[in-house]
A and B are shown apart, each in its own frame.
Chain A
Amino acid sequence: MSEPVGFTRRAVLGLAAGAFALGLAGPAAAEVDFAGKTIEWVIPFSAGGGSDTWARFNAPLLSKYLPGKPVVVVVNEPGGGSTKGTNLFAARAEPDGLMILGTSGSTQFPYLLGDPRVRYDYKDWKIAMAGPTGGVVYTTPALGLKGPEDIGQLKGKDLVYASQGATSLDLVPLLGFRLMGLNVQHVFGFKGRGDGRLAFERGEVNIDYQTSSAYLKNVQPLVEAGQAVPLFSWGVLNEAGEVVRDPTFPDLPSFVEAYETMTGAPPSGPDYDAYFAFFTAGFPAQKMVFLPKDTPDEIVAAYQKAFEDMKADPDYQASAEAVLGSYGQVTGALAQALFEKGTTLQPELRSRVAGMLASEYGVKLGEE
């Protein structure tokens, strides 16, 4: 794109930022002030989905805690499995903090898988916040299991899972079940995890997972009524980057523990590395907020501070459980670590996953 001939407030701010970078402006310019400004929060999904709800929950709080109390509007740019809006942000955003991007696992996956529609690169951005999420895998008592400790009994059983598609977020259970050696038939074409849960309740599938808040609200009653048996949570990452038990479900083993129970050894090898990369992109680093790479550090810091400050707000606390599912949004070094882990995949691992998807599920990941 050619250098724009422009007269927007953005260009002016951009110039100011440039001047600052050259050391022409005094230290006073370090004060970030968005007073009177409008910040566009690009959400590459249509209104009503999980990412949209997440952004609309955060937007007014962000507005309240950013310096100068700017107006924050959520701009939905859906299409192409979230690649369209993200491409648009990559082409259009300027390093002035006035346009930010909210991504989800469905934005990370096409990038990691090399979807030809992707014209964005995570390495071009700085992270402002990461929103982890988690989930619990459960099965039906009809298979003879009483609790998570019986997971070994699943070996050799014919399992059926309601999937949203092999390249969707359901790639994580696909890779995970496969790693565990479970014999799972993935039936595609479901519209969301809620749809999958309905298929479980109808008895059409016998293994399923739900994100934490949906699990607590909808599956916990089934567990109590003896109609579902929890198996394991996907787990969360600690600061050292290891998978540990999900604090929301301290009594449930994590995926890694469940794997050990089944096979007797901790998971390792390239298949686990591939699983781990997609797991990180899909759960601990599912939701992320980005600014362009050249954005001055003060602006990024102002965003991080706002995301931290809002946690004490009563409005935040009122709906956080329903929207975020009991996982705090993180900033700083932890966010940076999640960002790097969730957006990096060795080329050989990528071809490994692509080859497996093509040979076992007939999924073609675009011409190359």
Chain B
Amino acid sequence: MVDTLLQALTELLSLKHLAYMFLGLFVGLLIGILPALGGIAGLSLLIPFIYGMDQVSALAMLIGLLAIMPTGDTFSSILLGIPGGSSSQATVLDGFPLAKKGEAARALSTAFISSMFGGVFGALVLTGFVFIARPVILAFGSAELFMLALLGLSMVAVLSGRSLVKGVGACCIGLVIGSIGAAPATGEFRMVFDIEYLYDGIPLVVVGMGVFAIPEIVDLMRQNQSIAGDMPLGKGWGRGIRDWANNWFLSLRCSAVGCIVGVIPGLGGSVVDWIAYGHAVQTSKDTSNFGKGDIRGVIAPESANNAMTGGAMLPTILFGIPGSGAMAVFLGCMVLIGIEPGPSMVTTDLHLTYTMIWSLALANIFGALACVALARPISGLTKIPFQYMAPFLIVMISFAAFQSTRSIDDLIALLLLGCVGVLMKRFGWSRPALLIGYVLAPQAETFLYQAVQFNGWSFLARPGVIIIGLLTLASIFFGLRNRVDEHGHVVPVQDNAPDVPQFRAHLPQIGFAAVVVAVMGFALFDSLQHDFLGKIFPLSVAVVGLVIVSVLLWELWVGKPGHHSHFDAELTGEHVGKAGVHGMWSGLGWLAALVVLSTLVGFVLGVAVFFLAFMRLRVGATWFRSLHMTAWAVGGIVLAAWLLSLNFPSGLLQSLVHLPWPLR
């Protein structure tokens, strides 16, 4: 084993293999820095090159790319408040407030060290674990996987914010969104309204971007200043390193969590950051700063998401079961270079497994160093007036959103979910709770159904189920005690928040809650149309949602001003009463304009018109400058589309006239 380990290292350290690893790193870094584009896009870029490459070089390149993805993602999460990828959403919660305070450099350096530690830890664990992984993975049956989904859902407790009913309500919205599409047991289509787009369910990228990125952009667009405002950028490198060193044990625990979540197939990594974040809050004594820029809120998710990449490789190479979209593409690449996953990866092909592990470790170290070097220039973005960045971000997010199904419907769904996200942010509903519900809904439903089919209800007596069940209870208990939201620590709940003491002023939030009740009512009605196995899950969710949100509605209606359920950023936010603040719908209006233009003239022409209009009407830039910026934006997306060989969604114009690529 040690021989193979060293042999794999010497093989990898040849100039050629290292060069390919750096190529992978470079592409990964580029893609990672751009918000919302992730491993799938990066691997798709590299696939044409792996043809005819030797296996070691190809693996080094692919893993170089995958390893750096969760590190590079951190830039946009911390600097722009836009999740760089589905597993770095939680980093936004504390990383972005740090950037707003001018402590971007500190947050970034801590994040990169945590990432490096997590990644190397993941590689180390893999080295030994790969031999015992088979029985461990096989120990997790459908019953245990269902319980793990519940454990994930228990994180809603800690992330639900000041009003627990709002948190649970948000989670129910997520569960309802997650159950759109085919029912796992019967294949019946639920809540699809005969819209073909909805048959497959709403893609993760669209939900993530709609709920997290759009509200942030909309908020920033209201005030025409830069993200960091007048704050100096600060150095803080030394402090960042000290911050990590002071919390090394937290980083270690979260790396372990990340590894485990990655190793267990079927769990998917998209909530690993929230699980790690929740864990950090649950186990902290002083939680008063979480959500406002606590460095531990950066360390936890960043340690976990890099460690997860290592863990996720195990089910992929040992069983051929990819845990995520990126791993699915990686699996395809492995087959293309003639490696087939299976038990031989720990016997005859062990050197390939070790090549992957070494690549992972080296790529994490070099990747973190590269990010450290880039951090200073890239943090400069937070000093650019946001109105120059907003259109680029809107276009990039739209581009990323339609990667999922390559249809204009992705943009429409993004806009609608963006509205939901903006309103949830305004009225203090927990968006992480929605996301956790959305991601875990299909898993909880599928695994419960399978567990009951395989074991009957006696599955509840399995030892693994009981252990995970106890962990879930502990997680809820500690979670409720240490609840946080984006306004910080909220326990013990006090009914003395600033508020406007007029019933009329509360009407908007009452209205939103009423709409949620209506949505739950509709989900209930829709579920009744289906067979027992197709209806039981959405029916239960809708009933819980109806009860919970009705309680909330009652609290909002009769609660005294300052009651913990009351929250409306338009009444009490910092911007209220300031001059030069745009309305909250302005940003959404611009996004809507892009969507409408795209449905009319296709995405590329839509972007061109949108950009020019934004620069001229909103920013008031000169014609020269506007055209210049538009050219960059259009050129950028056309180049990206050409590299990824994808067609843009076409609009009304394209159905009338045949245009050459990329306009068609």
Q: Which residues of A contact B (CB under 8 A)?
A: 1-2, 4-11, 40, 46-49, 52-53, 56-57, 60, 73-81, 84, 117, 160, 165-167, 185, 187-189, 191-192, 194-195, 197-199, 201-202, 204-205, 213-214, 217-218, 221, 315, 318-319, 321-323, 361-364
**Residues of B contacting A363 in the complex (Cβ-Cβ under 8 angstroms):** 186-188
- 7 A-B pairs with CB atoms under 8 Å apart are A9-B660, A11-B658, A47-B43, A48-B43, A60-B48, A318-B338, A363-B186
Do residues B338 and A322 form an inter-chain contact, with CB atoms below 8 A? yes
| Interface residue range, chain B | 35 or more
**Whole-angstrom CA separation of A176 from B4 in the bound complex:** 46
Of B278-286, B288-296, B318-326, B544-552, the one with at least 4 CB within 8 A of chain A? B318-326
Q: How far is the CA of A78 from the CA of B203 in the complex (A)?
A: 12
Asked if A315 and B52 make an inter-chain contact with CB atoms under 8 angstroms apart, the answer reads yes
Contact between chains at A6 and B646 (CB < 8 Å): no
| A48-B40 in contact given A197-B319, A218-B343 (Cβ < 8 Å) | yes
Q: How far is the CB of A353 from chain B (nearest CB, A)?
A: 14
B80 smallest CB distance to A (angstroms) = 27
On whether A204 and B142 interact (CB within 8 A), knowing A5-B657, A198-B319, the answer reads yes
Q: Is the CB of A5 within 8 A of B199?
A: no
A48 close to B185 (CB less than 8 A): no
The B293-345 residues at the A interface (CB cut-off 8 A) are 319-322, 325, 328-332, 335-344
| Complex Cα gap A19–B624 (Å) | 47
Known A47-B43, A201-B138: A84·B405 in contact at CB below 8 Å: yes
CA separation between A8 and B343, bound complex, in Å? Answer: 51
A189-B446, A201-B138, A323-B335 are contacts. A78–B406 as well, Cβ < 8 Å? yes
B: residues with CB less than 8 A from A are 40, 43-44, 47-48, 51-52, 137-138, 141-142, 182, 184-188, 196-197, 199-200, 265-266, 319-322, 325, 328-332, 335-344, 405-407, 446, 449-450, 453-454, 531, 533-534, 645-647, 655-660
B328 contacts across to A, CB distance below 8 A? 46-49
Residue in contact with B657 in the complex, picked from A4, A9, A78, A192, CB distance below 8 Å: A4
A204 B325 Cβ-Cβ under 8 A: no
Closest CB pairs A-B (n = 8): A48-B328, A6-B658, A189-B184, A48-B329, A4-B658, A217-B342, A73-B645, A53-B332
Beyond known contacts A56-B332, A160-B453: 6 more, CB 8 A cutoff: A47-B40, A49-B328, A56-B47, A75-B647, A191-B266, A361-B186
CB within 8 A of A80: which of B196, B330, B658? B196
Count of A-B contacts judged by CB separation below 8 Å: 162
Which chain B residues border A194 with CB–CB below 8 Å? 319-321
Contacts A80-B199, A165-B187 given; does A198 touch B138 at CB 8 Å: yes
Q: Is the CB–CB distance between A78 and B405 below 8 Å?
A: yes
Identify the interface centre among A9, A11, A362: most chain B CB within 10 Å of its CB. A362
Contacts of A318 in B (CB 8 A): 338
Q: A6-B657, A188-B187, A217-B342 are in contact. Are A75 and B646 (CB under 8 A)?
A: yes
Task: Assess A189 versus B185: contact at CB under 8 Å? Given A56-B47, A78-B405.
Answer: yes
Contact B138 A47 (CB under 8 A): no
A47 to B454, CA, bound (A): 32
Task: Check if B336 sits within 8 Å of A323, measured CB to CB.
Answer: yes
Interface residues of chain A: helix, strand, loop or mixed (majority): mixed
Chain B, residue nearest A41 (CB): B645
Task: For A52, list chain B residues within 8 Å (CB).
Answer: 332
Question: For the complex, what is the distance from the CA of A160 to the CA of B455, rounded to whole Å?
Answer: 11
| Distance between Cα atoms of A214 and B658 in the complex (Å) | 44
Instruction: Say yes or no: B342 contacts A189, CB within 8 Å.
Output: no
Question: Which residue of chain A has the shortest Cβ distance to B534 in the bound complex?
Answer: A362
| Interfacial chain B residues near A60, Cβ < 8 Å | 48, 51
**Chain A residues positioned under 8 Å from B343 (CB to CB):** 218, 221
Q: Nearest chain B CB to A87's CB is how many angstroms away?
A: 9
B335 touching A84 by the CB < 8 A rule? no
Closest residue of B by beta carbon distance from A321:
B338
A residues less than 8 Å from B182 (CB atoms): 165
By the criterion CB–CB under 8 Å, are A185 and B453 in contact?
Answer: yes
Residues in chain A near residue B658, CB distance under 8 A = 4-8, 10-11
A315 close to B51 (CB less than 8 A): yes
When the two chains form their complex, are residues B184 and A188 in contact, meaning their CB atoms are under 8 A apart? yes
For B657, the chain A residues whose CB sits under 8 A away are 4-6
